[in-house]
């Protein structure tokens, strides 16, 4: 039972006794006491005046006096206008600590019965994953873990964009410039090789446009009429018509990319429950387009293209099918959404996609509503800001991106360098050190990205993220390792402890009460983060725990404590700190080492 619920129940009993009125405990407003006032939690008295028929302070004082007299867990109160600030006794904090220690699933919220799909990553098979994809993947994975901790049934899904004119651009460039190159012949990961093809296409395009402009054509028109663009689009038409040669090349190059993606996902610790391919889903959208035409939702232009007129809704006309019959992104998004809600009986669907696609999802939901799908209201676009580097934005077609593989390798190297400089891992064997370098490097990367509110654009600084001090993943990892070291030493000294030691005649110190209060916030933080779809709340909560523990450790003797009852109490407390950190950071997909 949370402190808020405890106070709600006890205050309801007080109101019944004092005023003869039955109130629903959950209707009572309880919040953490503001820092400038003395107290642990505050009961808002104003809504109770119609029951007490008395002044706010009189009502608050009456309830406070009743609670102190009748509830051992409450030792004092003060009333400021209509706010009753309540102070818990040591009895309450020890009871709270005991309940947390004995709850093996502490932090896991009760089942909701809701089925939620989280779709993320959804890469194009014309380039390797880069830093922007990393933020997408880490957000999608942590949001999935968060929703699961919130008691939901979660399906992690991805839709691989493996067809379209952008794919054909890489295929065209490979035919023109790469002379049969393969991952094996070049020694490159397949996704990197195909990414080189995509960059090469842009070079071809720029060269053709430059020549056409020299010959007198307007530059904007040249960008549309360039021969390579026409060739890529013709290749797409052939693909959709089942041309065997085009399909064979497409399968080959896609297989190179997908194998590369799998290696990157493994390095990040990312997996999916459901993988769809646009090449298998785009026809679903075409069926919906035909349905929409029959319903009058869509109209056909003279060139055969199909549109949805959203101008009456304050938006633009939206193309849903090209004149040559080929589909666009939203075509398959419509069909895939319908199939997923039907197949998985979804209660909601969360799309983790950058904020440059805000308009796309606004249109998607609106068209689905017009097609008669009420569940469209249960589509949520987790719109996140871009990741920028000190030198500015990244551009895939120009080859100015930070590849995910290179970044992961760099983070491990940063961990290796920083750890060597600090000497923190000097006493460990080479194999264990290497394992920790990977754990620390990935922990730094994940935490630095996830701790920022998803909606914000962020600047990524690898060296800053690996710092062992401050609000970083390695700082929290080191805090956990420090606790594990204390617990190991206690075991080596033959000191055992259990939850029974909490009930001994030990009065917790003010710093211990602060830690207990902070740990008690965990379920509420999960609820808050779920409601906001923001793992950043859990990340920064983890930092607060680590920071408070380190201050406690600095000021408090643990293993040198002579009073054995106090010593065992403290071991119980710090073991719970370690357990909550593992659970909280696990929601972020971050491992915590036991040695560091």
Given this model, what pLDDT does residue 252 score?
A: 97
DSSP 591: -
Q: What percent of the chain has pLDDT over 90?
A: 78
The span from the CA of 391 to the CA of 459, in Å, is 10
Helix (H), strand (E) at residue 5: helix 3-19
Is residue 72 located within the same domain as residue 177? no
| 304-319 pLDDT tens trace | 999 999 999 999 999 9
Given this model, what pLDDT does residue 390 score?
A: 66
Helix (H), strand (E) at residue 87: strand 83-88
Is residue 439 located within the same domain as residue 563? yes
**Which of 129-133, 241-245, 510-514, 585-589 is predicted least confidently?**
129-133
Helix (H), strand (E) at residue 43: strand 41-44
Residue 267 lies in a domain: yes
Residue range(s) defining the domain that contains residue 44: 3-88
Is the pLDDT reported for residue 231 higher than 90?
yes
* Phi–psi pair at 157, nearest 5 degrees: -130, 155
Is the pLDDT reported for residue 437 higher than 70?
yes
Domain count, the chain: 3
Is residue 435 located within the same domain as residue 581? yes
Is the pLDDT reported for residue 403 higher than 90?
no
**Alpha helix segments (H runs only) across 451-521:** 462-465, 473-492, 510-520
Structure tokens at 77: 């109160």
Given this model, what pLDDT does residue 502 score?
A: 84
The span from the CA of 55 to the CA of 36, in Å, is 23
Confidence bin at 103 (pLDDT 50/70/90): very high
The span from the CA of 296 to the CA of 294, in Å, is 6
Contact call for residues 50 and 21 (beta carbons, < 8 A): no
The span from the CA of 64 to the CA of 492, in Å, is 48
The span from the CA of 419 to the CA of 413, in Å, is 10
DSSP code string of 338-389: HHHHHHHT-SEEEEEEEGGGHHHHHHHHHHHHHTT-GGGGGEEEEEEPPEEB
Select from 39, 70, 88 the last residue of a domain.
88
- Report the candidate in 524, 525, 542 with the shortest Cα–Cα distance to residue 581: 542
The span from the CA of 415 to the CA of 69, in Å, is 56
Confidence bin at 325 (pLDDT 50/70/90): confident
Select from 272, 300, 324 the last residue of a domain.
272
Residue 543 sits in a domain whose CATH number is 1.10.730.10
Is residue 454 located within the same domain as residue 565? yes
Residue 510 lies in a domain: yes
Is residue 83 located within the same domain as residue 185? no
The span from the CA of 130 to the CA of 128, in Å, is 6
Residue 322 lies in a domain: no
* Phi–psi pair at 241, nearest 5 degrees: -90, 5
Residue 62 sits in a domain whose CATH number is 3.30.1360.70
Select from 88, 123, 143 the last residue of a domain.
88
Is the pLDDT reported for residue 244 higher than 80?
yes
What is the rounded end-to-end Cα distance, in angstroms, of the chain? 35
Residue 56 lies in a domain: yes
Angle (CA) 132-135-136 rounded to 5° is 90
The span from the CA of 148 to the CA of 341, in Å, is 19
Is residue 46 located within the same domain as residue 179? no
DSSP code string of 268-295: HT---SEEEEHHHHHHHHHHHHHHHHHH
Is residue 544 located within the same domain as residue 411? yes
The span from the CA of 504 to the CA of 485, in Å, is 25
| 270-305 pLDDT tens trace | 999 999 998 888 788 888 999 999 999 999 999 999
Alpha-carbon torsion angle 367, 373, 379, 381, nearest 10: 0
């Amino acid at each position: 039972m949370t402190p808020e619920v405890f106070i709600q129940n006890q205050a309801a009993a007080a109101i019944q006794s004092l005023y003869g009125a039955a109130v629903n405990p959950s209707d009572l407003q309880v919040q953490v006491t503001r820092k400038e006032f003395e107290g642990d939690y505050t009961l808002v008295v104003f809504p109770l005046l119609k029951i007490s028929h008395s002044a706010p302070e009189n009502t608050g004082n009456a309830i406070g006096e009743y609670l102190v007299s009748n509830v051992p867990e409450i030792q004092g109160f003060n009333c400021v206008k209509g706010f009753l600030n309540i102070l818990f006794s040591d009895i309450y904090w020890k009871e709270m600590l005991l309940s947390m220690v004995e709850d093996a699933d502490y932090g896991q919220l009760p089942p909701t019965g809701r089925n939620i799909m989280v779709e993320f990553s959804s890469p194009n098979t014309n380039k390797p994953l880069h830093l922007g994809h990393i933020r997408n993947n880490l957000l999608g994975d942590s949001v999935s873990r968060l929703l699961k901790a919130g008691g939901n049934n979660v399906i992690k899904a991805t839709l691989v964009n493996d067809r379209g004119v952008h794919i054909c651009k890489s295929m065209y460039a490979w035919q023109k410039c790469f002379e049969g190159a393969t991952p094996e012949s070049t020694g490159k990961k397949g996704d990197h090789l195909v990414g080189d093809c995509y960059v090469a296409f842009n070079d071809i395009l720029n060269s053709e446009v430059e020549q056409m402009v020299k010959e007198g054509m307007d530059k904007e028109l040249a960008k549309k009429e360039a021969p390579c663009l026409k060739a890529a689009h013709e290749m797409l038409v052939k693909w959709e018509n089942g041309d065997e040669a085009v399909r064979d090349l497409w399968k080959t190059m896609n297989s190179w990319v997908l194998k590369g993606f799998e290696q990157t996902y493994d390095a990040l610790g990312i997996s999916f429950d459901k993988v769809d391919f646009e090449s298998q889903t785009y026809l679903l959208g075409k069926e919906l387009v035909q349905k929409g035409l029959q319903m009058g939702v869509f109209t056909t232009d003279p060139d055969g293209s199909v549109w949805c007129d959203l101008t009456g809704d304050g938006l633009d006309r939206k193309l849903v099918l090209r004149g040559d019959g080929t589909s666009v992104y939203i075509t398959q998004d419509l069909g895939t959404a319908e199939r997923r809600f039907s197949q998985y009986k979804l209660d909601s669907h969360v799309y983790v996609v950058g904020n440059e696609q805000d308009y796309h999802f606004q249109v998607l939901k609106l068209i689905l509503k017009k097609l008669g799908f009420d569940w469209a209201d249960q589509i949520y676009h987790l719109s996140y800001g871009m990741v920028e580097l000190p030198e500015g934005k990244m551009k895939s077609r120009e080859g100015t991106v930070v590849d995910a593989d290179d970044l992961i390798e760099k983070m491990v190297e940063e961990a290796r360098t920083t750890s060597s400089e600090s000497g923190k891992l000097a006493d460990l064997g080479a194999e264990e050190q290497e394992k920790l370098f990977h754990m620390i490097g990935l922990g730094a990367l994940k935490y630095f990205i996830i701790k920022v509110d998803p909606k914000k654009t962020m600047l990524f600084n690898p060296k800053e993220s690996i710092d062992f001090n401050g609000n970083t993943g390695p700082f929290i990892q080191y805090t956990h390792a420090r606790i594990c070291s204390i617990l190991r030493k206690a075991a080596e000294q033959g000191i055992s402890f259990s939850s029974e030691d909490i009930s001994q005649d030990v009065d917790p110190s003010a710093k211990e009460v602060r830690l207990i209060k902070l740990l008690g916030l965990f379920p509420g933080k999960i609820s808050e983060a779920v409601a906001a779809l923001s793992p950043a709340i859990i990340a920064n909560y983890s930092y607060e725990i680590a920071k408070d523990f380190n201050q406690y450790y600095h000021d408090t003797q643990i293993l040198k404590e002579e009073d054995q009852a106090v010593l065992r109490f403290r071991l119980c407390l710090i073991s719970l700190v370690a357990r909550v950190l593992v659970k909280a950071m696990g929601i972020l997909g971050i491992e915590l080492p036991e040695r560091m």
